[in-house]
């Protein structure tokens, strides 16, 4: 399920990558200027991939933070990764 106003969902390499990226974004929020946003955006591009929100997935495991999912069909079939809880139906 995509965030409101979006048609894609980010799938992260794993939960640790997601947590590190969140920590980086929080630290960079304290830094003024456009450089901080650029660094956070580059980190997100490296540590995640955008998938269409209607991509069929199977939930492998789930906790309070999110779920490990596996794409079940389409061009990314077999891809596994972590999706934040806000994007889990």
Cα–Cα distance measured from residue 65 to residue 85, given in angstroms and rounded to the nearest whole number? 5
Cα–Cα distance measured from residue 80 to residue 12, given in angstroms and rounded to the nearest whole number? 9
Read off the pLDDT of each residue in 18-42 and give the average, rounded to a whole number.
Answer: 75
pLDDT digits (tens, 9 = 90+) for 33-64: 776 666 666 667 777 899 998 899 999 999 99
Cα–Cα distance measured from residue 72 to residue 51, given in angstroms and rounded to the nearest whole number? 12
Higher-confidence position of 80 and 2: 80
Averaged pLDDT score across all residues of the chain: 84
Which residue stretches of 1-89 are H helix? Answer: 15-29, 34-47
> Domain segments of the chain: what residues?
8-87
Higher-confidence position of 71 and 22: 71
């Amino acid at each position: 399920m995509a965030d409101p106003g979006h048609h894609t969902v980010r799938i992260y390499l794993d939960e640790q990558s997601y947590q590190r990226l969140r920590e980086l974004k929080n630290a960079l929020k304290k830094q003024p200027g456009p450089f901080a946003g650029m660094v956070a955006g580059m980190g997100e591009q490296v540590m995640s991939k955008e998938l269409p929100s209607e991509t069929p997935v199977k939930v492998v495991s789930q906790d309070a933070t999110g779920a490990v999912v596996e794409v079940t069909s389409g061009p990314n079939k077999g891809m596994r990764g972590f999706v934040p809880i806000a994007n889990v139906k």
